Amino acid sequence: MTAVCIVLLPGAGAPNGGLPLAGPLPAGAAGAAVPGRVGTWNICNPCGNGNDFGRATEIATYAPQVIALQEACVRDVERIRRYLEEVYGLVYRVEYGPVLQNWNRCGGLPWRPGGYGQAILSAAPMTDRVSVEYPDGGSEDRGFLAVTTLVDGRPVRVFNTHLAERRQAEVRTGQIEVLAAEFARHDRAIVLGDFNAVPHAPELAPMWALAPDTDPGCRPPTTDTGTEPDGDDACTTTTDWDSKFDYVFLRGITPGTHHVRPSPYSDHHLVYADLNRGQAASHLKRPSSRSGLR
């Protein structure tokens, strides 16, 4: 009986206090949070494969300074943060924007259900947290979370949102009106999230009017014809069903490179962007005479 109890105790007899053993990260994985890198990922709940250690490994591989998570349960995010710090040495702060307290989806006890909604992980401290639930969430409550933090040493307002489901365009129209009005108040801001809408969807027009997405081949429809210049085929898909639903909108910030990484742990891909760190001050710098330096 004693032996059985030891086996059943969480973490009993396991190395490193019950933490999973980390295998090597892929070649080229970041060793620390990458300056100027921001990301977004709908981690999928429920997907039936809620592997929080696998999710932490995905985040650790790319190590953005800031990453926005959607469909996030508070307990799952806490585990992800623990794995990031104790297994991979990456320390993130967290802010939550729950829109539901859901026992069936997030576990807990019926009288103490888990919070579900948005979360922002940031390597730098966050201030001025605002969590807004949209007046109409559609088939499920939805909202946005906003914080102020440092990205590459400069303050920026960061938004994380998850809009109504894909067949609810009219609901998304109202949600985007709320989000865009707040986004427009800031000269330097980033909106990350799952919009559940393809780039040429009419409801996205207010966002395109305020900011570009970091995907260089992805642009809004032309105003004269109402059609997209290169079609949605020019946009990198971000979901398992070959649609682009996930965006990194930049206001007052120049995009650098854009990356989309499929994952076995979600039906959405992990999306991240490296911002153009040197452009704002490039006119103050003299070219280096050394080869290989730029």
Residue that has been written with the tokens 């300056």 in this structure: 35
Query: What's the confidence (pLDDT) of residue 280?
Result: 41
d(CA 288, CA 190): 32
Measured at the alpha carbon of residue 152, what is the angle toward residues 79 and 272, in degrees to the nearest 5? 55
Q: What's the average model confidence in pLDDT over 60-86?
A: 97
Closest-CA residue to 120 (of 81, 172, 175): 81
In terms of pLDDT, which residue wins out, 145 or 220? 145
Query: Which H, E and C letters describe 121-177, residue by residue?
Result: EECCCCEEEEEEECCCCCCCCCEEEEEEEEECCEEEEEEEEECCCCCCHHHHHHHHH
Taking 60 as the threshold, does the pLDDT of residue 130 lie above it?
yes
Q: How confident is the model at residue 229 (pLDDT cuts 50, 70, 90)?
A: very low
- What are 148-171's pLDDT values in tens digits? 999 999 999 999 999 999 999 999
Taking 60 as the threshold, does the pLDDT of residue 226 lie above it?
no
The one-letter code for the residue type at 162 is: H
d(CA 138, CA 169): 10
**Cα atoms in the Cβ-side hemisphere of radius 13 Å centred on 90:** 28
- Classify residue 244 by burial, with Cβ atoms within 10 Å: 0-12, 13-18, 19+: buried
In the chain, where do the E strands start and end? Answer: 34-42, 64-73, 93-102, 108-109, 112-122, 127-133, 143-151, 154-162, 189-194, 246-251, 255-261, 270-275
Query: What's the confidence (pLDDT) of residue 22?
Result: 67
Across 59-82, b (16+ Cβ under 10 Å) vs e yields bbbbbbbbbbbbbbbbebbebbbe
Select, from the ranges 96-110, 182-196, 271-285, the one with the highest average predicted confidence (pLDDT).
Answer: 182-196
- What are 49-67's pLDDT values in tens digits? 669 999 999 999 999 999 9
Query: What's the confidence (pLDDT) of residue 232?
Result: 64
Cα–Cα distances in angstroms (integers) from residue 192 to residues 11, 89, 109, 291, in the given order = 35, 25, 31, 37
Could you tell me the end-to-end alpha-carbon distance of the chain, in angstroms, rounded to an integer?
66
Per cent of the chain over pLDDT 90 is: 70
d(CA 57, CA 19): 13
In terms of pLDDT, which residue wins out, 278 or 55? 55
Taking 60 as the threshold, does the pLDDT of residue 14 lie above it?
no
**Cα atoms in the Cβ-side hemisphere of radius 13 Å centred on 121:** 28
Taking 80 as the threshold, does the pLDDT of residue 117 lie above it?
yes
d(CA 50, CA 263): 12
Average pLDDT score, the chain: 86
Q: What's the average model confidence in pLDDT over 121-141?
A: 97
CA 219, distance to chain mean position in Å, is 20
